[in-house]
Amino acid sequence: MIEVEVKARAPPGIEEKIAGLGGARTGAEVHLDLYFGSRSRNFAETDEALRIRIKEAGAFLTYKGPKLDPETKSRREVTVQVDDPHNLESILESLGFFRAAVVKKRRTKYSLGRATLCLDEVEGLGSFLEVELSGGEVWEEEKRAALEVLARLGISESIRKSYLELLAER
């Protein structure tokens, strides 16, 4: 699956703007994201990511492929639910992976048409808005739709870097 995602700093009053466009709050959750590195492959150079996400609804292992375009964070993403994230981390470490970083955030989700909007408060970074749509191999339509949502919210500048990359720059 291709996840089409655009991200921006969340401006003041963004929740009211989302509601004004007809967006509906669908929930809130806390994420603990454990990112892994490999001794045989530099994910920063290959623009990939391997992550265990732990949240109230369960734990998930996700592989993210390289970004597909210069404007968005769109990329191939494969996710599986896992029953025991701690044992999974032990397996990954036994295979030569290591915990590279931890990202903690509180996410409030909204639905707006086909898009999911995520208002994230990221520990150590601040507030961000992500607009996400899922697409198949032909994902350009979703990309245009995600960028249009940002424009309708009055946001002109997007950020292509992941939270992991932003934290590494600090």
Tokens encoding 161: 């870097």
- Positive or negative CA dihedral for 126, 74, 55, 109? positive
Q: Please, is 70 exposed, middle or buried when counting C-beta atoms within 10 Å of its C-beta (0-12, 13-18, 19+)?
A: exposed
Q: Give the separation between CA 72 and CA 77, rounded to whole angstroms.
A: 14
Q: Give the separation between CA 76 and CA 164, rounded to whole angstroms.
A: 17
- The set of long-range contacts for 123-127, using a CB threshold of 8 Å and a minimum separation of 24, is 124/167, 124/170, 125/163, 125/166, 125/167, 125/170, 126/9, 126/10, 127/9, 127/10
The residue type at 131: V
Annotated active-site residue 163? The verdict is no
Q: Give the separation between CA 170 and CA 167, rounded to whole angstroms.
A: 5
Catalytic residue chosen out of the listed positions 35, 63, 110, 163: 35
Residue numbers annotated as active site: 35
